[in-house]
Structure 1
Amino acid sequence: MTDFPLMFRNTLFITAWNIIFTIITNSAAAYAITRYRKQSRFFNLLYYYFISAMFIPFNVIMLPLVREVSAFHMDNDFGMTFLYIIFGMPLNIFLYSGFVKQIPVALEEAAVMDGAKPYQVFFKVIFPLMAPMHATVAILSFMWTWNDFLMPLVLLSDPKQQTLQLAQYVFQGQFSTNYNLAFASYVLVLAPVLIMYVFFQRYIISGVLTGSVKG
């Protein structure tokens, strides 16, 4: 009834690409902002600009976002992936920034003295050291993207590109609800999140605590 394989592929596609690009782009942005905050007023303002977005509910920007997404033809899985990466930046930059502050600048200076360019310093020195925070961000992004209902509901227009959360609507009728089938489907949808949380919950707790260090 839910076309589970297709919806599972759609949800997995959005979630997987979101995690990959979120880790690469958000960690790079957080690293640049954190290292240059004290030297540049622009980067300091940029940090607070991203952090301030954490206090804006999605409901406030929902209707304007629907118009923009429709105008740019982003009401599909690729557009959803891009939006998840953007909307995840405030929290992820906050977490990554707290972690980057604990990495000694001397490591980067040594790499520069050895002839490394800025992008080499980040990808060969800093990026591997951020592995614990990568795990935390990946898990939080997975849980948010996989469980999200509101954004796909208002943005996805093609039924064949719907996610698993939207597919659960099929059990809700005008006069009745198939509770036995609905709850069986709910368990299948929740299973990946529960399994990931059980095995990786220590990374979530330790990563959030580490990334929330006050600067």
Structure 2
Amino acid sequence: MNKSEKNKKNYAISDYVIFVLLFLFGIFGILGVLYITLNISLKTPSDMQNILSLPKHPEFKNFSEAWKLTEFPLKFLNTFIITIFTASFTIITNSAVAYVIARNRQRSRFFNLLYYYFLSAMFIPFQVLMLPLVKQANFFHLDNVWGIIVLYVVFGLPMNTFLYNGVLKSIPAALDEAAYIDGANPLQIFIHVIFPILKPIHSTIAILTVMWTWNDFLMPLVLLTKQKFQTLQLSQYVFRTQFSTNYNLAFASYVMVLIPVLIVYVVCQRFIMNGVMKGSIK
């Protein structure tokens, strides 16, 4: 067996091992967790001895009780407003910031440093900023639904700048120059020429932002102190008392919260992968 055939054999074995590991992870790490979550949501407290066994008498009323306890319509509306407006403002503002930086990095040291400043912010954990953020948010009256939208847009800027910049580098500056010769100003160039070209990465960032804001727990926990502003994730606390937790109702609520974002991810995962690859490689 020559060296080439031996390398091919080693690659085949490696691919097989990777496939088996991914398959096992998908079965036990993802489907297994979903099975346990749905299974517990249909159980009664007396059936909780074995969480893997199927419920003897499925209790679908767990979902209706969880709906009432969590004030699901109000909390869903808050979460929906935060998610949709955050995604919309993120695409508009972050793409504009990334465009200005990408077009001026080569000729301006300030914009080059600004780019790396945003990248460095990606490595700062939110827990480090949490206490100062709470104090400043209270001072500027940002501890509400609209205030947290602003903060989500700002905190998403570092990663989104990185993704947008990767795509903008592949768009020739000659397009800007041609539009400028035709009489367009920089704002018109961005709106009518560059922004439509960024549609694939817009889709990716919108989906990632939706998943992040919908599932986020920590920032709403420290900012949204008033009950009328709370999100679906914060409403899960209602099932935990001082001495016990209503696991069946809690897991029923988890299922209801999980379904919307799960549908978004399954339907749009192709856009996520395509946009991330374009933003990180080019």
- TM-score, normalising length: structure 2: 0.75
Q: Deviations over 1:158-192 (max 9, x none)?
A: 11100000001101111121111111110110111
| Percent identity over paired residues | 65
Q: What residue in structure 1 maps to residue 207 of structure 2?
A: 139
Match of 1:27 among 95, 107, 111: 95
Instruction: Report deviation, 1:71.
Output: 1.1
Match of 1:14 among 57, 64, 82: 82
Query: Is 1:113 aligned to 2:181, yes or no?
Result: yes
Equivalent residues in 2 for 1:96-111 (5 A)?
Answer: 96-111=164-179
Q: Aligned partners of 1:128 and 1:208: how far apart in 2?
A: 18
Match of 1:76 among 144, 147, 150: 144
Instruction: Report deviation, 1:206.
Output: 1.1
Match of 1:130 among 198, 203, 209: 198
Larger Cα Rg: Structure 1 or Structure 2? 2
Q: What residue in structure 2 maps to residue 192 of structure 1?
A: 260
Q: Report the residue type matching 2:179 in the other structure.
A: A
Other structure's SS at 1:212 match: helix
Match of 1:168 among 227, 233, 236: 236
Q: Aligned partners of 2:258 and 2:78: how far apart in 1?
A: 16
Q: What residue in structure 2 maps to residue 94 of structure 1?
A: 162
Gaps of 5+ in 2: 1-68
Q: What residue in structure 1 maps to residue 19 of structure 2?
A: none
Other structure's SS at 1:104 match: coil
Q: Report the residue type matching 2:244 in the other structure.
A: S
Q: Aligned partners of 2:281 and 2:153: how far apart in 1?
A: 23
Query: Is 1:40 aligned to 2:108, yes or no?
Result: yes
Q: What residue in structure 1 maps to residue 225 of structure 2?
A: 157
Q: Aligned partners of 1:167 and 1:148: how far apart in 2?
A: 12
Q: Report the residue type matching 2:231 in the other structure.
A: T
Q: Report the residue type matching 2:278 in the other structure.
A: T
Q: Number of matched residues? A: 214
Other structure's SS at 2:134 match: helix
Deviation beyond 4 Å, 4+ runs, structure 1: none
Q: Deviations over 1:54-81 (max 9, x none)?
A: 0000000111111111111111011100
Q: Aligned partners of 2:263 and 2:219: how far apart in 1?
A: 24
Equivalent residues in 2 for 1:61-72 (5 A)?
Answer: 61-72=129-140
Instruction: Report deviation, 1:213.
Output: 2.7
Q: Report the residue type matching 1:49 in the other structure.
A: Y
Q: Aligned partners of 1:15 and 1:6: how far apart in 2?
A: 14
Gaps of 5+ in 1: none
Other structure's SS at 1:175 match: coil
- TM-score, normalising length: structure 1: 0.98
- Superposition RMSD on alpha carbons, in Å? 0.8
Decide which moves more: 52-61 or 99-108: 99-108
Q: Aligned partners of 2:131 and 2:183: how far apart in 1?
A: 50
Q: Report the residue type matching 1:78 in the other structure.
A: W
Other structure's SS at 1:55 match: coil
Q: Report the residue type matching 1:154 in the other structure.
A: V
